[in-house]
Amino acid sequence: MIRLAIVGCGAVVRHYHMPALIGIDNVAVSVLCDLNRGNAERLRRHFRLTVPITDDLASLDGRVDAALVAVTPRHHASVSVQLLEMGIDVCCEKPLAASVADAEKMIDAATAHRRRLAVAQWCRFLPNLPLLRALVLDGFVGEVEEIADDSYGGVEANAELRARVLMNGRKVPVRFSFSWTDLKRNGLRIRGKDGLAIASTAAVDVVTVRRVAGGQPVAMDIHRDGWAPGHPVPNPFRDQLVDFLGAVAERREPLVTARSAIRALRVIEHAYSVRRQLPQPWLTADPAR
């Protein structure tokens, strides 16, 4: 039985992580840790827990085997490093850290103390994304021309990122669109010469492919082998916790390692270094006109 500490007891834990933990056999929530004791008390009351509450991170030493870190992102590195140095395995909420430098400190601490450091990037556990990847690499939609990610993200009201990624030896244009003011379709759209493949977080079991067959446009919903209507919908939050706890118990690497997550931080840091303001003519136009 893995003794788990919840470090940071806010909304993401209350709405997603704690419900996902229910029913996992090899884990017991042993301590709630939060500087805001009210958050921890609400979490304990809501899930009818009988575990102690603390605001002292150092008090976890020797009391738990692993920790779910869900504090504010700017404290991810300092909290995780302290836990790792105490010999506690860590599953850290995304983003891994506020900077690449902080993420590297976390990786160094995990390596030095032989601890497991996982990142709670739940989208990596959606079943349709590996299926989408397999279809694209297999040439099912032809040679890839463009990838567009319509996910939420960023702290700005609206942002757009354009780049190129290397796929099968070719540089493919990629466009990411982020918005807090415009409702986006949260998913991936990959356009090839022969068709379009779409994977959405709203339908995690299916990849939709649109092609032309016999001169007519067709749409195909593609599922993994063995899928059947009525199967329970996968819970990526539960799957990522099961994977992390398995990594702790078996002393193996988790699916989403810090070394894989740091690549996204490098892209974000570079994007901010070359960013420019989006056109906003309603703000910059001459009011006299």
Domain co-membership, 104 together with 15: yes
Decide if pLDDT at 185 tops 80: no
Count of domains forming the chain:
2
Q: Write out pLDDT tens, residues 6-15.
A: 999 999 999 9
- Mean pLDDT computed over every residue of the chain: 91
Domain co-membership, 115 together with 154: no
Domain co-membership, 119 together with 144: no
Q: Is the pTM of this model over 0.75?
A: yes
More confidently predicted of 181 and 126: 126
Range of the domain at 146: 127-222
CB neighbour class for 46 (10 Å; exposed up to 12, middle 13-18, buried from 19):
exposed
Listed in sequence order, the residues at least 6 apart from 173 whose beta carbon sits closer than 8 Å to its beta carbon are 145, 146, 147, 162, 163, 164
- Lowest-pLDDT choice from 34-48, 57-71, 130-144: 130-144
Domain co-membership, 106 together with 163: no
Give pLDDT, residue 152. 52
| Banded model confidence at residue 154, pLDDT cuts 50, 70, 90 | very low
Domain co-membership, 71 together with 23: yes
In this structure, how many other beta carbons lie within 10 angstroms of the beta carbon of residue 183?
7
Decide if pLDDT at 289 tops 80: no
Q: Tell me, yes or no, whether 228 lies in a domain.
A: no
| Banded model confidence at residue 30, pLDDT cuts 50, 70, 90 | very high
Q: Tell me, yes or no, whether 281 lies in a domain.
A: no
Q: Tell me, yes or no, whether 145 lies in a domain.
A: yes
Q: Tell me, yes or no, whether 284 lies in a domain.
A: no
| Banded model confidence at residue 286, pLDDT cuts 50, 70, 90 | low
Domain co-membership, 115 together with 258: yes
Domain co-membership, 98 together with 148: no
Give the closest residue to 145 by CA, choosing from 166, 127, 172.
172
Give pLDDT, residue 173. 92
Q: Tell me, yes or no, whether 153 lies in a domain.
A: yes
Domain co-membership, 63 together with 200: no
Domain co-membership, 118 together with 183: no
- CATH code (residue 193): 3.30.360.10
- CATH code (residue 38): 3.40.50.720
Decide if pLDDT at 149 tops 70: no
Rounded to whole angstroms, the Cα distance separating 85 from 124 reads 27
Q: Tell me, yes or no, whether 212 lies in a domain.
A: yes
Instruction: Specify the length of the chain in residues.
Output: 289
Detail the DSSP E strand segments found in 193-259.
195-200, 203-213, 216-222
| Banded model confidence at residue 155, pLDDT cuts 50, 70, 90 | low
Domain co-membership, 241 together with 202: no
Give pLDDT, residue 74. 95
Domain co-membership, 72 together with 8: yes
Q: Write out pLDDT tens, residues 213-266.
A: 999 999 999 998 888 888 888 899 999 999 999 999 999 999 999 999 998 899
Decide if pLDDT at 287 tops 70: no
DSSP letter at 234?
Answer: P
Whether the CB-CB separation of 30 and 4 falls below 8 Å is answered with yes
Domain co-membership, 141 together with 176: yes
